[in-house]
Structure 1
Amino acid sequence: MSLSAAVLLAVLVAVPTIRSDAAISRDVLKIGILNDQSGVYAELAGQGSVEAARIAVEDFGGEVMDRPIEILSADHQNKPELGASIAREWIEVDGVDVIVDVPASDVALAVQEVTEDTDTAFLINGAAASSLTGEACSPTSVHWAYDTDSLAAGTVRAMLKEGLTSWFFVTANDAFGTTLQRAAQRVIEANGGEVRGAAKHALNTDDFTALLMEAQGSEADAIGLANAGQDAVRAIEKAHELGVQRGPQRVVPLLLFLSDVKKMGLEVAQDLPLTTAFYWDRTDASRAFAERFAARRDGQRPTMVQAGVYSSLMHYLQAVAAVGDDSGRTVVEQMKKMPVDDFFATGGRVRADGLMVHEMYRARVKRPSESTGPWDLYEIVETIPAELAFPPLSESACPLVED
C-alpha cells in the first residue's frame, strides 16, 4: 500500500459511525470557502484553500448523513461589508452550513457576527486576530491554524533570546496588524525589551521605503513586520534592496507563509525567522498530503492556511456525522469534545473559547546552498508545545469560558 493510500485509509477509518436518526435540515450539506482570491492574501489561501477543501470532501466519501456535500467559493476582496454580505446570502438563500477560511481579521470578525446570528459553523484558518476567540468569541466558531498570540510567542521570544531587545514595528493598519503588534509588544516588555515606535500602513501598500527608513532611524535591533501576504513580501524585498539585513538591524516577519518565501526566492528570504503551524516536509503524513495537493496545484506545496482548511473541515465533517445534526452550535460543541490527530496537528484540542491549541514550529528560511529542491525552503529549529504557544484558557477574555 502506498503512503498516500495509507493516510487516506486512516482518515476514513477514523470517521465516526453515522447515526440512523440524523436530524438534517436540507438535502445537501454545503460548504462555503470565503477568502481573498485576487489580493494580497490570494496565494496563501485563495484557490489553494478551495482545492484543500475538495480533497477533504473526497476523503470523507463525498457525503455525510446520506447527503451529498457541495462546495461554494467566493472572493471577499478583503472588505468586511462584502464578506458579511456574501456570508448572509450564502446562509439564508443558498443554504450554506459552514463557512471556512476567511483571511483578513476585519473580514473574519464581520463574518463571525453573521454566523453566530444564524447558528452557522465558522472554521477560521486564514485570519489571525486573537480577539476572534477572545472578547469577540462565538459558540459557532473554531479558530484553527494559528493566532496572533502563538505567532508572537514563537518568533519574538526567540529573537529576544538572540539579543534583539529593542523593536520598531511596521504594522498593517487593521485588526490583524494592530493585534499582532500588541501581542508582540506584550512579549517584548514582559522580557525586559523595549518598543521604540511603529509605522502603520494600509493594506496592499506598494512602497515600503519611507516606513523602513523610519524604522532604520529608530536604531532598534529588530524591525518587526506586523503584516502578511503580499505586504510582507514587498516590505522584505524593499528591506533587502535597502541593505537592511546586511546592517546592524534585522527584519523579523511575525507572519510569513511558504508562498511568500517561494515568491521572494531564497536569495532574498534566506535566514528569516518565522513561526508556523505546519510545514509540508515535516513528517511522512504531511508529505503525503502535500504530494496530493501538489498534483492538483501545478506542483505547489500547501501553506499552513490551506492545510488547516483540510484539517478543520475533516474535523467538522466527523463532528456532523457523530451528532447527526448540522446546527452550528451543536457541531462546534462536538468538535470541542474530539481530539485532533492528523497530519496537521497531533494532540490538538478545541478549547471552550473555540481556539484549537496545538504544537507550533519555529523555523528558519534556508540559504540557497542548503536547499535541495524548489520547495525545500524551511529548516524547523524548534517545536513549541501547545502550552507555550498559546496563552492558558484562564487568561481568555471569551465570555463562553466559565470561571
Structure 2
Amino acid sequence: MLTLSRACGRLLAGVALALAAPAARAEIPDGTVKIGVLTDLSGFASDSTGEGSVVAARLAVEDFRKEQPKLQVEVIQSDHQNKPDIGSSTARRWIAQERVDAILDVPFSSVALAVQEVVRDSRAAFIASGPGTSDLTGPKCSPNTVHWTYDTWALAHGTALALLRAGKTRWFFLTADYAFGHALEADAAAVVKAEGGTITGNVRHPTAAADFSSFLLQAQGSRAQVIALANAVGDTVNSVKQAAEFGITSGGQDLAALLMQLSDVHAIGLKDAQGLYLTEGFYWDANPGTRAFADRFAARMKGRRPTANQAGVYAGTLDYLRAVAAADSTDGRVVVAKMKERPTRDPLFGDGMVREDGRHVHDMYLFQVKAPGESAAPWDYYKRVQTIPAAEAFRPLADGRCPLVRAGK
C-alpha cells in the first residue's frame, strides 16, 4: 500500500512526464500535417497547374514519408476558378474550419495576393508555385510565405538580358492589359534601357483575345529584332500561333515569351513555336533526377510531362514538410523561418535557398524551342541556351522593398 508521500511523488512524476511529452504531439496534432493544393482545376491554366499540381504534391508526400514515416500527411484540393474572392474564401475556410496547415500552388497573381493576406495573420503557411507577381516577396511580403518557382522579375530579366547581350537590342512589346502583363513589360523594358537597347513600340491587348492580327502587324512593322510577349497561357498560345501565320520569325524577327510553360509549347506545336526564347527554372529532360520525376509524374498524368509550376509544387511541398519535421511544428511562421535557416536541395531544382523575403533562389535557364526535326521524342521541346546562376536570376534582396528585410526579420 502506497504512503501519502509516495503517492504524491508518483502523482508529481506523472504530471512532469505529461508536461514533458514530445513537442510533436503538442505542435503537430495527431502527428498529421494537412496541406491544401489551391489551384486552377478547370480554367485556362489547368494544363500548367491543375491536377498536375495535385499529383506533384502527392509525389512529394510519398518521398517525404520515406524520410519521416511516422509523420502522416493529408492532401486536399480545390479549384479557385481564377477568382480572388473564391481563393480567399477557400483559404479562410481551410484554415479556420478544416485545420489546413499549408496552402500550395495558387496560380494567378491576383488570387495569390488575396490568399497571402488571409494566411498572413494565421498559423498556416503559403508555399506559392503558380503565381508570377514579384510583390509576394516585395512590398507585400509575409513571414508566412515562400515563393518558389519564378516571378516576373526573374522571367523578364533572364530573357531580356541574354538576348540583349547577344546583340538583339531593338524591342517591341505585345502586352496583356492587366497588372501581370504590365509588370512583365516594365521589368523587361528596364533591362532593355539599362543595357543600351531601344524600345521601338508597344501595344496592349485584352485578356482572352481571339484575334491578334492588328497587334502583330504593328509589331512586325516596328522593325524590332525582338517581339516580347508579355502575356500568359491562352493569350501566349494564340499570339505565337498567329505570329507564325504572319511569318514573323521566318522574316527574321525573334519571339521572346516572357512567361511560357511546357504545356503552352505543347498546345502550340513545334512547327509554330520553333525558335522562340523563354526563361524557366525547370525542364523535365535536364538530368537523370528530373527525368525520373517526370516518368513518375507521366505514369499518373496519361503521359504528360511536368511543367515548371508543377515541379515547383513538388519541391516546395517537400522542403516545407522537411521544415515541419525539423521544427517539430506546423505553425506557419515557425516553419517558414526554419525553411530560411538552411539550404534547400531536391532533384528538380538542385541547390537553393529561401531568402529573408521568402523568395526561393535557384538557377534559371534561357531555353529555345526546338525545330520539329530536332525533337527526338514526345515532349522533347527545349534546348538550353544559357544557365542563369541563382545569384543573378532573381531580384536583389535590397531592391524588393520587403518590410521583413528592412526590419531585419
Q: 2:111 aligns with which of 92, 104, 107?
A: 107
Q: Is the Cα–Cα contact under 8 Å of residues 166 and 221 in structure 1 kept in the other structure?
A: yes
Residue 64 (structure 1) shift: 6.6
Q: Tell me the secondary structure at the aligned position of residue 195 of structure 1.
A: strand
> CA, structure 1 residues 270+190, in 2 after alignment: closer, same or farther (shift >3 Å)?
same
Number of positions where the alignment pairs a residue of Structure 1 with one of Structure 2: 385
Q: 1:216 aligns with which of 202, 215, 220?
A: 220
Superposed, 1:116-131 pairs within 5 Å as 116-131=120-135
Residue 128 (structure 1) shift: 1.1
2:186 is aligned to 182
Residue 208 (structure 1) shift: 1.8
Q: 2:383 aligns with which of 379, 383, 386?
A: 379
Superposed, 1:158-307 pairs within 5 Å as 158-307=162-311
Q: Which has the larger radius of gyration?
A: 2
> Once the two structures are superposed, what CA deviation does each residue of 1:89-117 show, in whole Å capped at 9, x if it has no partner?
11112111111111111111111111102
1:24 is aligned to 27
> Once the two structures are superposed, what CA deviation does each residue of 1:214-268 show, in whole Å capped at 9, x if it has no partner?
3234333222111121221111001111222222432211111111111211111
For 2:69 and 2:337, how far apart are their aligned partners in 1?
Answer: 18
For 1:292 and 1:214, how far apart are their aligned partners in 2?
Answer: 45
Q: Which runs of 4+ in 1 moved over 6 A?
A: 62-65
Matched, 1:350 2:354: yes
Residue 67 (structure 1) shift: 5.1
Q: Tell me the secondary structure at the aligned position of residue 401 of structure 1.
A: helix
Q: Greater CA deviation, 329-338 or 28-37? A: 28-37
Q: Tell me the secondary structure at the aligned position of residue 27 of structure 2.
A: coil
Root mean square deviation of aligned Cα: 1.8
For 1:203 and 1:123, how far apart are their aligned partners in 2?
Answer: 27
Q: Is the Cα–Cα contact under 8 Å of residues 254 and 275 in structure 2 kept in the other structure?
A: no
**Counterpart code for 1:399:** P
Residue 130 (structure 1) shift: 1.0
Tell me the TM-score normalised to structure 1 length: 0.91
Q: Is the Cα–Cα contact under 8 Å of residues 134 and 152 in structure 2 kept in the other structure?
A: yes
Q: Is the Cα–Cα contact under 8 Å of residues 28 and 328 in structure 2 kept in the other structure?
A: no
What fraction of aligned residue pairs are identical, expressed as a percent? Answer: 50
> CA, structure 1 residues 345+62, in 2 after alignment: closer, same or farther (shift >3 Å)?
closer
Q: Greater CA deviation, 91-100 or 160-169? A: 160-169
Q: Is the Cα–Cα contact under 8 Å of residues 65 and 71 in structure 2 kept in the other structure?
A: no
For 2:55 and 2:78, how far apart are their aligned partners in 1?
Answer: 13
> Once the two structures are superposed, what CA deviation does each residue of 1:197-224 show, in whole Å capped at 9, x if it has no partner?
3322333222222222232343332221
Matched, 1:71 2:75: yes
2:333 is aligned to 329
For 1:281 and 1:291, how far apart are their aligned partners in 2?
Answer: 10
1:340 is aligned to 344
List runs of 5+ in structure 2 lacking aligned partners.
Answer: 1-20
List runs of 5+ in structure 1 lacking aligned partners.
Answer: 1-18
> Once the two structures are superposed, what CA deviation does each residue of 1:261-281 show, in whole Å capped at 9, x if it has no partner?
112111111111111100111
Tell me the TM-score normalised to structure 2 length: 0.90
2:96 is aligned to 92
